[in-house]
Amino acid sequence: MPRNRNTFSSLAAWRRKAVAAAVQGAWRWAQQAGSVTAEHPGKLRFRRLGAGTRLAFPQGTVFGEPWIEIGECCIIAEQVTLTAGMLPGLDLGTETVLTLGDGVVLGRGSHVIADTTVTIGSDTYCGPYVYITSTNHSYDDPDEPIGRQWPRSEPVSIGPGCWLGTGAVILPGARIGRNVVVAAGAVVRGEVPDHSVVAGAPARVVRSWDPEKGWQPPLRTPAPKPIPEHVTSEQLAALAAWEVEQAGTSS
């Protein structure tokens, strides 16, 4: 009897492993087959979808693609929302509404809502669950439910080379400069100067670059080592994709 029980347990364990392996294999296949690229756009017809860009599977809500331009070598992680216009099926005219420059990274679960112009500069990285919107609710009439009042929209621009931490919120009218760090959970509105660090809700500048004095207040961490010359852009893109995947796994 103990031998039979042990045999049964071994068979059950083997079956569980086999089922898990099959499920994992099917999911990896779905991720590959369901991802969107310039070569395999599926049903999505963006105004531009650059070479080397990939929208991971499963995608979040995506509509208004004819008014969305996405540059080359962008990484759009799982469950990312990209929308142009308030509703699907609207005619938004001749101009691009949402623009992502080359090398933009949008972390898992991020949202980019472009009811009016939103521009994200090249090589800007966003952590998971970043929320960027050009529209906010209005509440002028105290007697009318807020959700029924016509919203206000203002263009949003994010310069090249920025880093937006996990859960950052970029509000309508924000104008973020070049190489800006937005701390995790920060809520940004208004103008943010180049080469600065902002944190808080509402966000304020907590560190900035002075050409003569360097970073003020001074950095408390040692300067990073430069990227070795032999490292290729493809390797950097693969590293960025791995970091996005790890961030999504840990959330």
Active site residues: 137
Phi-psi region of 185 (alpha: psi -120 to 50; beta: other; left: phi over 0): left
Contacts of 59 (CB under 8 A, 6+ apart): 34, 36, 76, 78, 79, 80
C-alpha closest to that of 207 among 239, 241, 182, 231: 182
